[in-house]
A = this chain, B = another copy of it.
Amino acid sequence: MKIALVGIGKIAVDQHVPAIANSPDWELAATVSRAGTVDGIEAFTDIATMLEARPDITTVSLAIPPVPRFAYAQAAIRAGRHVMLEKPPGATLAEIHALQALAQAQGVTLYTTWHSRMAHAVAPAKAWLAGKTITRAHIIWREDVRKWHPGQDWVFEPGGMGVFDPGINALSILTEILPAPVHLQAAELEFPANRQTPIAARLQFTGNITADFDWRQTGPQTWDIEIDTPDGKVALRMGGNLLEIDGQPAQGENTIMDEYPALYARMADLICQSRSEVDLAPMVHVADAMTLGRRTETEAFDF
């Protein structure tokens, strides 16, 4: 199936382009970007022109930042194309509700992807936790924004989500593997004096579940989720890619795909089944944290 990739930035080059290139399901048939291109692939600078010129391209994958994403998604769905959205799926919850209704009316597939849910340890951790009682869980998600978003000021602009841009990956795993839903009880958000989104957040959920997000960690990066039950402990390390049971590696053989190839395989499946998959639970927790969180001001941040 032919696909167009919109937004040729870092995440597109690092993940989307190789995942599509190595997929048995997909052929990268066009790109849409004001700046980037992919060698040998027809390049457009605006989506309306691409949608008009290439009726053979039936699916559009959007890897642009969340704030401008709605207009692109709306245009593609109105033109009868299937759409997959990078995480977070948009800048607001209401716009995704609107896209969901539009996709249903148009009879096309809408897929709100959460790449971290495809990490290797997620499915086995979910299976291990099924039916168990959680007595405590703690997320530590600490990375260096300068390494992962070099110079990308949009992450600190309204709608850019700040430290929730990586933190939502942890929340996408948490909401996937927990046997029962939780909700936020309190949050502390640290805003740099010169920025509009938080650079650090500490969250407290029901069920003795806490999270520590920080975007100022240099050196080794930490993406860990530890969960205790009366029947033992499970930990997911390296962003959900390494599984530990009771402190011991429990990976075993691993034949499943990497994150982005798994997302593109899932999109192909959804289209074949004429289904959409729209799960906003991780984004609801972020919106709740921004609504309920206690704000403190911290040192100004510059790239």
Binding site for B on A (CB under 8 A): 67, 70, 91-95, 97-98, 101, 158-159, 161, 181-184, 186-187, 191, 196, 281, 284-288, 290-295
Contact = CB atoms under 8 A, between A and B. Distances in A.
A187 B294 CA distance: 19
30 contacts: A67-B292, A92-B183, A92-B184, A92-B288, A92-B291, A93-B284, A93-B287, A94-B183, A94-B184, A94-B281, A94-B284, A94-B285, A94-B288, A95-B183, A97-B181, A97-B183, A98-B182, A98-B183, A101-B181, A158-B186, A158-B292, A158-B293, A158-B294, A159-B291, A159-B292, A191-B295, A287-B288, A287-B290, A287-B291, A290-B291
B91 A292 contact: yes
Contact of A196 (B159, B287, B294): B294
Given A94-B284, A183-B70, A196 B291 contact: no
A181 B292 CA distance: 25
Contacts of A281: 94
Contacts of A286: 291
A99 to B, nearest CB: 9
A292 B92 contact: yes
Contact of A284 (B97, B184, B191, B290): B97
Contacts of A191: 295
Nearest to A70: B183
Given A95-B183, A97-B181, A98-B181, 5 more contacts: A70-B183, A93-B288, A94-B182, A284-B287, A291-B291
A284 B67 CA distance: 17
A27 B44 CA distance: 67
A93 B288 CA distance: 6
Name, among A158, A187, A287, the residue most crowded by chain B CB atoms within 10 Å (CB to CB): A287
Contacts of A288: 91-94, 287
Contacts of A94: 181-184, 281, 284-285, 288
Could you say which of A91, A186, A291 has the most chain B C-beta atoms within 10 Å of its C-beta?
A291
Contacts of A285: 94
Q: Which 4 A-B pairs have the closest CB atoms?
A: A94-B183, A92-B288, A287-B287, A95-B183
A230 to B, nearest CB: 22
A159 B189 CA distance: 13
A295 B196 contact: yes
A161 B158 CA distance: 18
A158 B95 CA distance: 25
A181 B96 CA distance: 11
A147 to B, nearest CB: 25
Contacts of A290: 287, 290-291
Contacts of A95: 183-184
Nearest to A188: B158
Contacts of A158: 186-187, 292-294
